[in-house]
Amino acid sequence: MLRTRCIPCLLLDGARLVKTVRFRQPTYVGDPINAVRIFNDKEVDEIAVLDITAHRRAEPQFELISQIASECFMPMCYGGGVRSIQQMQRLFQSGVEKVAVNTAAVADPALVTGAAERFGSQSIVVAVDVKKTWLGGYAVHTHGGRTRTQWDPVAYAREMEKRGAGEFFLNSMDRDGTGEGFDLELIRRVTQAVSIPVIACGGAGKIEDLAAAVKKGGASAVAAGSLFVFHGPHRAVLITYPERRTLEQQLD
Amino acid sequence: MLLVIDYQMGNVGSILNMLKKIGCPARVSRDPQEIRQAEKLILPGVGAFDAGMRNLSDLGLIEVLNARVRQDRTPLLGICLGMQLFSRRSEEGVLPGLGWIEAETKAFSFAGTDQRLKIPHMGWNTVAIKPGEALFEPMPPDPRFYFVHSYHVVCAHAEHVAAVTHYGIDFCSALRCGNICGVQFHPEKSHKYGMQLLANFCRADG
């Protein structure tokens, strides 16, 4: 049977790996190549590498991404500052399987269609950062969470599915790095609206949270940062990943 | 020398990375002369069936591949689309395939069934191996591999099916017909079992 994927989500700040809380306070957690090697040994299902400082550069850090990809013997998704088909082409050539677009997909939805036609939907992920509004609704944010858009995540997910996105990476800004558990209401709303796989991210503090995102939220895959890079109440840096049997019991 | 055929259908970087990791020297080429001299061939591929056949044709590789695979019996491993191209035709396109094995490539279709399965079949799934299949030695009875595909190969002869995977239906996830092997999954992205499989292919006696 097809297994539910559990994906460590690593954040790049320059050439450093960091972890944020609610998109702030980036804490240094180590060297990306080293971290990927450890995740390799643990045979993780897939890995997502998101560059949260990519907006400061004209281009993604191709050299570093290529180095990371060459250490990945599992599928790797890269996101951060991707704005063009040419950049995607370069990323795929370096050994990346999936490219995530976030801000560029809001600004230029035709990019998603063009990319899906060129590279296949399965390799195009639309990543979205969502924050609760004062009125209890949700709003899609861009530019690393700094800019609020008029998009509701459900309408946006439908639009991106229509445009050719192969997967929807749904990140809760409110839960990021908190370990409070996923925003199941948000996940449920989006998974009920689209038929492409939804990857839930933001808030996982324990394995049971991952199970809830799948079983209660309907997510096709789960992603987490803090859960796999911190350990204990003082958030000591320790790269971990659940045993395969534990994951199968919890997620399948 | 092992040669990975680069016919501009998806990147070959991941395959080279893993071959390097397991210590199997390999070259990448689309030069017919180099293909003529290779001891073993890998035909990778991500993308559409017709685009794959068109590229092989435009690059002038079909004749040399036919000679190497059918006459010289050069060991060949097809990966994903590469394996599908071995078949006679595909529901994905109109161009004929390489036709090296009696098989057709068909679309997953769950319409009219009560199964709500997503297409493409993407993620990790287990593979039930035909006993004694050398590509999978030594592995547990149901190793897991990474899949991404919307079409699958249907062999006319059961003896060519080297492994089966379940996704709504049981489909052929690996095939073998003499010197020709194919896998529907991506060994280059499948951790230790992927490494084992590629190492088995590289190290087997011609």
Residue B181 appears among annotated catalytic residues? no
Report chain B residues whose CB lies below 8 A from the CB of A166: 120
Task: Give CA separation, A63 vs A69, A95, A102, B22, B188, in Å.
Answer: 10, 12, 21, 23, 21
The distance of A73 to chain B (nearest Cα, Å) reads: 5
Token pair of A75 as six digits: 């599928």
The distance of B73 to chain A (nearest Cα, Å) reads: 30
Contacts with B111 (C-beta within 8 Å, 6 or more apart), sequence order: none
Report chain A residues whose CB lies below 8 A from the CB of B47: 120
Q: What is the pLDDT of residue A61?
A: 97
Helices (H), chain B: 13-21, 32-37, 49-58, 62-66, 81-84, 191-203
Domains of chain A: 5-251 (3.20.20.70)
Give burial (CB, 10 Å; 0-12/13-18/19+) of A86: exposed
Nearest CA among A102, A139, A141 for reference residue A11: A102
**pLDDT in single tens digits along all 252 residues of chain A:** 899 999 999 999 999 999 999 999 999 999 999 999 999 999 999 999 999 999 889 999 999 999 999 999 999 999 999 999 999 999 998 889 999 999 999 999 999 999 998 888 999 999 999 999 999 999 999 999 999 999 999 999 999 999 999 999 999 999 999 999 999 999 999 999 999 999 999 999 999 999 999 999 999 999 999 999 999 888 899 999 999 999 999 999
Residues B189, A196: C-beta atoms closer than 8 Å: no
Q: How many CB atoms lie within 10 A of CB B20?
A: 12
Confidence of residue B206 (pLDDT cuts 50, 70, 90): low
Residues B148, A196: C-beta atoms closer than 8 Å: no
Annotated catalytic residue, options A129, A176, A183, A209: A129
Can you tell me which residue has the tokens 């149901």?
A: B142
Residues B17, A94: C-beta atoms closer than 8 Å: no
Residues B146, A43: C-beta atoms closer than 8 Å: no
Q: Which residue of B has its CA nearest to A116?
A: B47
Q: How many CB atoms lie within 10 A of CB A120?
A: 18
Q: What is the pLDDT of residue B111?
A: 82
Can you tell me which residue has the tokens 């995530």?
A: A100
pLDDT over 90 (residue B119): no
Report chain A residues whose CB lies below 8 A from the CB of B14: 69, 95, 97
Annotated catalytic residue, options B39, B188, B191, B202: B188
Instruction: Write down the ipTM of this complex.
Output: 0.91
Radius of gyration of chain A (CA): 16
Distance of alpha carbon A195 from alpha carbon A158, whole angstroms = 9
Residues A195, B118: C-beta atoms closer than 8 Å: yes
CA atoms within 13 A on the CB side of B185: 35
Distance of alpha carbon B50 from alpha carbon A22, whole angstroms = 46
Radius of gyration of chain B (CA): 16
- Domain range for residue B137? 2-203
Tell me the percentage of chain B whose pLDDT exceeds 90: 86
Digit-coded pLDDT (tens) for B121-132: 999 999 999 999
Distance of alpha carbon A152 from alpha carbon A141, whole angstroms = 10
Selected residue of A36, A73, A89, A247 to mutate for chain B interface (largest B Cβ count, 10 A): A73
Report chain B residues whose CB lies below 8 A from the CB of A5: 123-124
String of b and e for B36-69 (b: at least 16 CB within 10 Å)?
A: eebebbbbbbbbbbebbbebbeebebeebbeebb
Helices (H), B128-203: 191-203
First to last CA, chain B: 11
Report chain B residues whose CB lies below 8 A from the CB of A196: 118
Distance of alpha carbon A227 from alpha carbon A10, whole angstroms = 11
Question: What is the domain-level CATH number for residue B63?
Answer: 3.40.50.880
> A54-60: which pairs have CB atoms within 8 A and are 24 or more residues apart?
A54/A12, A54/A80, A54/A81, A54/A82, A55/A81, A55/A103, A55/A143, A55/A144, A57/A81, A59/A87, A60/A87, A60/A91
Q: Residue A187's Cα: distance from chain center in Å?
A: 14
Q: Residue B16's Cα: distance from chain center in Å?
A: 15
Nearest to A73 among B10, B46, B189 (CB): B189
Give burial (CB, 10 Å; 0-12/13-18/19+) of A176: buried
Residues B14, A97: C-beta atoms closer than 8 Å: yes
For helices A207-215 and A244-251, what crossing angle results, to 10°? 40
Selected residue of A68, A97, A169, A241 to mutate for chain B interface (largest B Cβ count, 10 A): A97
For every residue of B185-203, which 3-state class applies, written as one string?
A: CCHHHCHHHHHHHHHHHHH
Mean pLDDT of chain B: 95
Distance of alpha carbon A27 from alpha carbon B24, whole angstroms = 39
Q: What is the pLDDT of residue B58?
A: 97
Nearest to A43 among B10, B148, B191 (CB): B191
Q: Residue A248's Cα: distance from chain center in Å?
A: 21
N residues, chain A: 252
Residue B104 appears among annotated catalytic residues? no
Write the Ramachandran bin of A186: left for phi over 0, alpha for psi from -120 to 50, otherwise beta.
alpha
- Residues of B at the A interface (Cβ-Cβ below 8 Å)? 10-11, 13-14, 17-18, 21, 46-47, 118, 120-126, 144, 146, 148, 166-167, 186, 188-192, 194-195
The distance of B103 to chain A (nearest Cα, Å) reads: 24
Token pair of A63 as six digits: 């050299």
Report chain A residues whose CB lies below 8 A from the CB of B148: 75, 97, 122
Annotated catalytic residue, options B80, B177, B181, B202: B80
N residues, chain B: 206
Residues A3, B195: C-beta atoms closer than 8 Å: no
Nearest CA among A146, A168, A144, A171 for reference residue A155: A168
Number of domains in chain B: 1
First to last CA, chain A: 9
